[in-house]
Structure 1
Amino acid sequence: MIHASQDILTRGLWRARRVVLGLALTLGLALLHSGPAGAASLQVSPISLEFSPAEQAQSVWLSNSGTATVRAQVRVQQWSQPDGVEQLSATRELVASPPVVEIPPGGKQMVRIIRLQPAPPAQEQAFRLIIDELPEVVAPAGAATSPGLQFLLRYSVPVFVALTEPVPANNKPSDISALSASLRTSGSQLVLSVSNAGPRRVKISQLVHVDAEGRRTPLAPGLLGYVLAGQRMQWPLNLPAGQVLPANGTLKAKFNADLEEQTLPLASNRS
């Protein structure tokens, strides 16, 4: 079995193309195995969930845009970032019902995500909803049986249980005062480390380096990732061969759903 990656965070079909190219991405997998060649037909909506403190359940819809029945397994895992590394672990805080679904062509299936401990949390909780497309047990009648590759998707949907009621969307930029970052060299690669001392996760995207003359070097053109509440995350930054970032530059990025970028507070500790 070959493993490649997919994460559906705001990336849609672009992410699916990256799966076909076999690029590794955080916390999402697509599985390939011998079987009839075919395009992925399993779709998931919404692409993220946030529970209010006392909310007990939310719904996710799985749909099948293909011409054959799709089977999928749904489960929830705790999400943490010990030592700056993404980690998933078993949990009984949230469960999916039903855990296995079968969706006919053109059909939809609702899955309930249920909190077993509905009391308000002591801090924001983070989970990942893992949705695995399962291989066909029996090929449809009349289907070609020639060998090939079938892409089986794994969707990884972020799920949060908030400390307070969700704040209505406004035009104000995200408060990133709880973030602190450092940039260091590890061999020939730059590593960005970001700590979040705040009560809510922060999503970082479109990271660029801006030098003293205003020249911009893209470091993460799309989604870089999340820093969970009270935790630290780190990412390797890939530069073009032979390129070195000036030490007197700044890092800018977009945070959460902001339209405008902000400067990421960066300690000058590169070595």
Structure 2
Amino acid sequence: MRILLSLLALLLALPAAALDLVPTTLQLPAEGGHGELWLYNPGPGRWQGEVRILAWEQQVDAEKLRPSDQILASPSRLDLPPGTRQRIWLLPRETSPVAVEQAYRVILSPSGPDLPRYSLPLFRGHATPLARPDLHAGIEPGTSQPLLRLRNAGSVHARLHDLAFVAGDGRRTLLLPGLAGYLLAGRERRWALPVHADGYAGGHFQARLQDGRVVDLTAPDPAIAASAPSGL
């Protein structure tokens, strides 16, 4: 009996492994409908915590999360023993269509200090299925370090991968390999870039989007640049 109790205490003391999450980017329909997030705990420990859904906003140099009741999570409390699965329903309060995609973050917060925390992007889509981001880029003047200022004039977000600069002679330089970040609909962001010999003159930027397309990031239209809001 003493051996069994010792083994049980050892198992309970084991740290929880990372949860398997499917999918890792969540999308809700523009008009009503619900979404699903599946969790799997491979063990060896138990994962306990809560689910919160926060509105996600962007400023030029910052990400901001704030409380929101527009998307409900069910269940909102989690208790996953090793080897178990859990489905979380994502339920929008409003079913009316949205003109511009809404962005949220699904936060899985553990109840214990040694458990991993998760933050997943959640988007409630535009009513037009073929809507795409509309990206404009330029080097911000008057700064000691090159700063790429990127604006998304479209109605859906852009997930940017493999940010690159294509010089006037066609040479391509990979600046930020892998995931560079998200740019939400109607927002602007800045990225610090490595110093370039010609200051990024005479060329253009490229990035790969979430649908696999490699797109040129065009210079902003002067009228758009003049009227663009700074931050929120």
Pairwise same-fold verdict (TM > 0.5): yes
The aligned residue for residue 164 of structure 1 is 127
Deviation of 1:61 after TM superposition, in Å, equals 1.0
Question: Alpha carbons of 1:185 and 1:218: their partners in 2 closer, same or farther (altered >3 Å)?
Answer: farther
Task: Spell out, residue by residue over 1:71-91, the C-alpha distance to the aligned partner (whole angstroms, 9 max, x if none).
Answer: 132110111113453211110
Q: Does 1:125 align with 2:81?
A: no
Normalising by structure 2, report the TM-score: 0.78
Which letter maps to 1:261? Answer: V
The aligned residue for residue 92 of structure 1 is 69
Normalising by structure 1, report the TM-score: 0.68
Which letter maps to 1:226? Answer: Y
The aligned residue for residue 255 of structure 1 is 209
Q: How does 1:167-206 map to 2 (within 5 A)?
A: 167=130, 178-184=134-140, 188-206=144-162
Deviation of 1:186 after TM superposition, in Å, equals 6.9
* SS of residue paired to 2:146: strand
> 1:52·1:166 contact (CA, 8 Å) conserved in 2?
no
Q: Does 1:226 align with 2:182?
A: yes
Question: Alpha carbons of 1:187 and 1:165: their partners in 2 closer, same or farther (altered >3 Å)?
Answer: closer
Alignment: residue pair count: 209
Q: Counterparts of 2:220 and 2:141 in 1: how far apart (Å)?
A: 13
Percent sequence identity is: 31
**Any stretches of 5+ residues in structure 1 without a counterpart?**
1-35, 137-149, 168-173
> 2:16·2:44 contact (CA, 8 Å) conserved in 1?
no
Q: Counterparts of 1:49 and 1:222 in 2: how far apart (Å)?
A: 20
Deviation of 1:247 after TM superposition, in Å, equals 1.7
Q: Does 1:77 align with 2:54?
A: yes
Higher share in helix: 2
Question: Alpha carbons of 1:175 and 1:154: their partners in 2 closer, same or farther (altered >3 Å)?
Answer: same
Q: Counterparts of 1:53 and 1:95 in 2: how far apart (Å)?
A: 16
Deviation of 1:43 after TM superposition, in Å, equals 1.9
Deviation of 1:215 after TM superposition, in Å, equals 2.9
Q: Counterparts of 1:243 and 1:197 in 2: how far apart (Å)?
A: 27
Which letter maps to 2:105? Answer: R
> 1:94·1:113 contact (CA, 8 Å) conserved in 2?
yes
Deviation of 1:37 after TM superposition, in Å, equals 7.9
> 2:56·2:65 contact (CA, 8 Å) conserved in 1?
yes
Deviation of 1:122 after TM superposition, in Å, equals 3.7
Q: How does 1:46-85 map to 2 (within 5 A)?
A: 46-85=23-62
Task: Spell out, residue by residue over 1:205-254, the C-alpha distance to the aligned partner (whole angstroms, 9 max, x if none).
Answer: 111112233333221101112221122222223x2xx6544422221111
> 1:86·1:233 contact (CA, 8 Å) conserved in 2?
no
Q: Counterparts of 1:246 and 1:115 in 2: how far apart (Å)?
A: 44
Q: Counterparts of 1:202 and 1:67 in 2: how far apart (Å)?
A: 37
**Any stretches of 5+ residues in structure 2 without a counterpart?**
1-12, 223-232
